[in-house]
A and B are shown apart, each in its own frame.
Chain A
Amino acid sequence: MLDILQIPFIQNAIVGGLLIAVLLSVLSLFINIKNWSFINVGISHATFGGLALGVYLGISPIYLGILFAVSTGLLIGYISKKGDIHEDISIGILFSISMALGVIFLTLTPNYTSDLFSFLFGNILTITREDIYLLAGFSLFTYSFLAIFFRKILFCCYNEEVAYTAGINTDFYYYSLITIIAIATVLAVKLVGVILASAMIILPAATASQIFWHYKKIIISSIILSILVVLVGIFVSYQYDLPSGATTVFIYGILFFFALFVKKLKKGR
Chain B
Amino acid sequence: MENILEVKNLTVKLNGKTILEDINFSVKKGETLAIVGPNGGGKTTLLKTILGFIEPTKGYVRLLGLPPKQAVKTGKVGYLPQKNNVPKKFPVSVLDVVLFGLVNSKLPKKKQIEKALEYLDYVGMLEFKDYPFSDLSGGQQQRVSIARVLVAEPEIIFLDEPSTGIDMVAQESFYEFLKHLKETKGLTIVMVTHDVGVVAKFVDKIAGLNRYLHFYGHPKDFFKKEILEKLYGSEIELIVHAEECVACEHFKFKIGDKKC
Contact in complex: A168, B103 (CB < 8 Å): yes
Given A151-B100, A164-B72: A159 touches B85 (CB 8 Å cut-off):
yes
Which positions in A face B, CB cutoff 8 Å? 29, 33-35, 151-152, 154-155, 157-159, 161-168, 209, 212-215, 218
CB distance from B205 to the nearest CB of A (A): 22
Query: Which of A155, A161, A164, A215 interacts with B91 by CB under 8 Å?
Result: A215
Contact in complex: B78, A33 (CB < 8 Å): no
Please provide the chain B residues from 186 to 207 with a CB less than 8 Å away from any CB of chain A in the complex.
none
Which positions in B face A, CB cutoff 8 Å? 51-53, 72-75, 77-81, 85-87, 89-93, 96-97, 99-101, 103-104, 132, 152, 158
**Which residue from chain A places its CB closest to the CB of B100 in the assembled complex?**
A155
Q: CB-CB < 8 A to B100: which residues of A?
A: 151, 154-155, 158, 162-163, 166
**Which residue from chain A places its CB closest to the CB of B93 in the assembled complex?**
A214
User: With the chains together, A215 CA to B132 CA distance in Å?
Assistant: 10
Contact in complex: B103, A213 (CB < 8 Å): no
What are 7 inter-chain pairs, A to B, with CB distance below 8 A? A159-B81, A163-B100, A165-B51, A168-B104, A209-B89, A209-B91, A215-B91
Most B Cβ at <10 Å: residue of A152, A159, A161, A212: A159
User: With the chains together, A214 CA to B129 CA distance in Å?
Assistant: 13
Interface of A is mostly: helix
Contact in complex: A214, B53 (CB < 8 Å): no
Q: CB-CB < 8 A to B85: which residues of A?
A: 159, 161-162
Contact in complex: A154, B92 (CB < 8 Å): yes
User: With the chains together, A45 CA to B93 CA distance in Å?
Assistant: 35
CB distance from B175 to the nearest CB of A (A): 21
User: With the chains together, A164 CA to B96 CA distance in Å?
Assistant: 18
Contact in complex: A166, B92 (CB < 8 Å): no
Given A166-B100, A214-B91, A214-B132: A158 touches B86 (CB 8 Å cut-off):
yes
Q: CB-CB < 8 A to B90: which residues of A?
A: 33, 157-158
Query: Which of A29, A152, A167, A218 interacts with B75 by CB under 8 Å?
Result: A167
**Which residue from chain B places its CB closest to the CB of A205 in the assembled complex?**
B91
CB distance from B243 to the nearest CB of A (A): 35
User: With the chains together, A167 CA to B80 CA distance in Å?
Assistant: 14
User: With the chains together, A88 CA to B128 CA distance in Å?
Assistant: 38
Q: CB-CB < 8 A to B73: which residues of A?
A: 167
Q: CB-CB < 8 A to A155: which residues of B?
A: 100, 103
Query: Which of A29, A152, A161, A209 interacts with B103 by CB under 8 Å?
Result: A152
Contact in complex: A167, B72 (CB < 8 Å): yes
**Which residue from chain A places its CB closest to the CB of B87 in the assembled complex?**
A33
CB distance from A97 to the nearest CB of B (A): 28
Given A162-B79, A165-B78: A151 touches B93 (CB 8 Å cut-off):
no
Q: CB-CB < 8 A to A163: which residues of B?
A: 100, 103
Contact in complex: A215, B92 (CB < 8 Å): yes
Q: CB-CB < 8 A to A209: which residues of B?
A: 89, 91
Contact in complex: B87, A161 (CB < 8 Å): no
Q: CB-CB < 8 A to A215: which residues of B?
A: 91-92, 96
CB distance from A54 to the nearest CB of B (A): 37
Q: CB-CB < 8 A to A214: which residues of B?
A: 91-93, 132
User: With the chains together, A100 CA to B246 CA distance in Å?
Assistant: 66
Given A166-B101, A166-B104, A213-B132: A159 touches B86 (CB 8 Å cut-off):
yes
User: With the chains together, A155 CA to B102 CA distance in Å?
Assistant: 11
Q: CB-CB < 8 A to B104: which residues of A?
A: 166-168
Q: CB-CB < 8 A to A212: which residues of B?
A: 91
Contact in complex: A161, B92 (CB < 8 Å): no
Contact in complex: A158, B79 (CB < 8 Å): no
Q: What would 10 more interface pairs be, CB under 8 Å, given A159-B85, A218-B91?
A: A34-B87, A165-B51, A166-B79, A166-B101, A166-B104, A166-B152, A167-B75, A209-B89, A214-B91, A214-B93
Q: CB-CB < 8 A to B152: which residues of A?
A: 166
Q: CB-CB < 8 A to A158: which residues of B?
A: 86-87, 90, 92, 97, 100
Q: CB-CB < 8 A to A29: which residues of B?
A: 91
Contact in complex: B81, A213 (CB < 8 Å): no
Q: CB-CB < 8 A to B72: which residues of A?
A: 164-167
Q: Which 10 A-B pairs have the closest CB atoms?
A: A165-B79, A215-B91, A167-B73, A155-B100, A213-B132, A165-B72, A167-B75, A155-B103, A159-B85, A165-B77
User: With the chains together, A192 CA to B205 CA distance in Å?
Assistant: 62
Q: CB-CB < 8 A to B101: which residues of A?
A: 166
